A and B are shown apart, each in its own frame.
Chain A
Amino acid sequence: MSQMIKVAITVNGQHTTAMVEPRTLLVQYLRDNLNLTATNVGCDTSSCGACTVHLNGEAVKSCTILAVQADGENVTTVEGLANGNEMHPMQQAFMANHGLQCGYCTPGMVMAAISLVKDIPNPTEEDVRIGLEGNLCRCTGYHNIVQSVLAYAEGK
């Protein structure tokens, strides 16, 4: 019934375009239109941070942004981090420090962590814990997540 709207969003450096329902969320556009399913939906209410992506370089929760609002803008998901077969150093740090258990929160954690270190290049443990306050880990694996981010910041 709703009139479909054309959106054009640059995702992971690729130009993408689609006709979408006006109420389509950015995360639905990423998952359903582009089949980029690494970005998870945990809560639908911007509480858990699993859906964190970068919009014009800034971490945002893609479950509470309409695809139409990202029209003409740049989005990066966790799929866009690797350089060919080489993982992003933050992904490597999570792997090396056992920064994931079930992995559900990991894409959002990694995206939030990269944004955090961009703002605070040499964070303390407290900076990391505060900076990741918008991301929940239901395995409660926060200790190693924090260690991963600190290891990345030290190794840069």
Chain B
Amino acid sequence: MIYSPKSISNAVQILQDDPDAQILSGGTDFMVEVNFGHRAPTSVLSLRAIKELCTWSQQDGVIRIGSALPYAQMETGPLAKLLPALAQAARTVGSPQIRAAGTLGGNLGTSSPAGDSLPVLYALDATIIIATATGERRMAVKDFMVGPKRNALSKGEIITAVELPASTGYQGYSKVGVRNAMVISIASACLVHNPIDRSVRLAMGTVGPTIIRASAAEKWLGEECDLASASSITPAICAEFGRRCGDESQPITDHRSTAEYRRHAVSVITSRLLERCAAS
């Protein structure tokens, strides 16, 4: 059975009656698994027809992105100016056709450590908005992912939106894969500089069971430099920061890479992101 509700309340009601229905957003992971014969769900709930999930808005410095808004709309245009790191991450998703389909809700629902947008959400301390049978609940993204492809979403719930603060300083995203296009990451990272609260936040993807914030490296950097501006960040500090980020990663060896290479790669990209921040 396939359900195509037109409203969130209708979708939540459907999940009350059929709690095992697989939620389908852009389909860039799920449909591939279906075509491979790895998944054969008896019922599917498509979010595509729920127009309110495909919009975004901005109020008081907070940007709210609907869970079914495709990446194509984050890559360029007004959203890209408000959230440059998200635009860069969106640009690395698949190809133009995939970016016309894939969504933040899909990345969160799948909760793969290689989800391209997830390091951005972690570095920006995003809030996830979830529709439940009784209303709505909000959750910090750091509490959302609990393991590889496992998250805190309960049966009957639907991710409806993500809330993020608008950019206040440099932010950047970097990803390593075997080629430039249509690639699943080997390591990824997002760095966000906030000169107002004098912080740098750094989140790493594909180098652990969940996205990992490099909290110790962030703290060390805050002690080494006055982060009211990026001008005191030296090349030596960038190199040491990258090394410390690598220390905080928890990579595994699998068919895409060795743990050793992942740790090396994430050290290099985190160091480069800080160099770009210093040069900004």
Segment 1-22 of B: residues with Cβ below 8 Å from A: 1-2, 4
Judge if A123 is at the interface, Cβ distance under 8 Å. no
User: If the complex has contacts A64-B28, A65-B31, are A59 and B100 also in contact, measured as CB distance less than 8 A?
Assistant: yes
Whether A112 pairs with B46 at a CB distance below 8 angstroms is no
Whether B31 pairs with A64 at a CB distance below 8 angstroms is yes
Judge if B134 is at the interface, Cβ distance under 8 Å. no
Q: How far is the CA of A55 from the CA of B180 in the complex (A)?
A: 26
Among B4, B46, B101, the residue within 8 A (CB) of A64 is B101
Chain A: minimal CB distance from B32 (Å): 5
Whether A3 pairs with B1 at a CB distance below 8 angstroms is yes
Chain B residue numbers with a CB within 8 Å of A52 are: 97
Interface-centre pick from B36, B95, B180 (highest chain A CB count, 10 A): B95
* Contact size range, B: 20 to 34
Judge if B152 is at the interface, Cβ distance under 8 Å. no
Among A44, A58, A134, the residue within 8 A (CB) of B35 is A44
Q: How far is the CA of A112 from the CA of B182 in the complex (A)?
A: 15
Judge if B237 is at the interface, Cβ distance under 8 Å. no
Q: How far is the CA of A112 from the CA of B94 in the complex (A)?
A: 14
Judge if A99 is at the interface, Cβ distance under 8 Å. no
Q: How far is the CA of A135 from the CA of B1 in the complex (A)?
A: 32
Whether B72 pairs with A58 at a CB distance below 8 angstroms is yes
Among A3, A5, A69, A131, the residue within 8 A (CB) of B96 is A131
Judge if B181 is at the interface, Cβ distance under 8 Å. yes
Whether B2 pairs with A46 at a CB distance below 8 angstroms is no
Q: Which residue of B lies closest to A63 (CB)?
A: B35
Whether B96 pairs with A133 at a CB distance below 8 angstroms is yes
Interface 0/1 of A59-82, CB less than 8 Å to B: 111011110110100000000000
Judge if B27 is at the interface, Cβ distance under 8 Å. yes
Whether A46 pairs with B72 at a CB distance below 8 angstroms is no
Among A3, A47, A58, the residue within 8 A (CB) of B182 is A47
Q: How far is the CA of A104 from the CA of B230 in the complex (A)?
A: 51
Q: How far is the CA of A58 from the CA of B28 in the complex (A)?
A: 16
Judge if B98 is at the interface, Cβ distance under 8 Å. yes
Interface 0/1 of A30-54, CB less than 8 Å to B: 0000000000000011110100100
Chain A: minimal CB distance from B255 (Å): 16
Whether B72 pairs with A69 at a CB distance below 8 angstroms is no
| B-binding residues in A (CB < 8 A) | 2-3, 5, 22-23, 25, 44-47, 49, 52, 55, 58-61, 63-66, 68-69, 71, 112, 115-116, 130-131, 133-135
14 A-B pairs besides A22-B44, A44-B32, A133-B180 with CB distance below 8 A are A5-B2, A45-B36, A46-B28, A49-B97, A63-B35, A64-B27, A64-B28, A65-B101, A66-B2, A66-B24, A69-B46, A134-B94, A134-B98, A134-B181
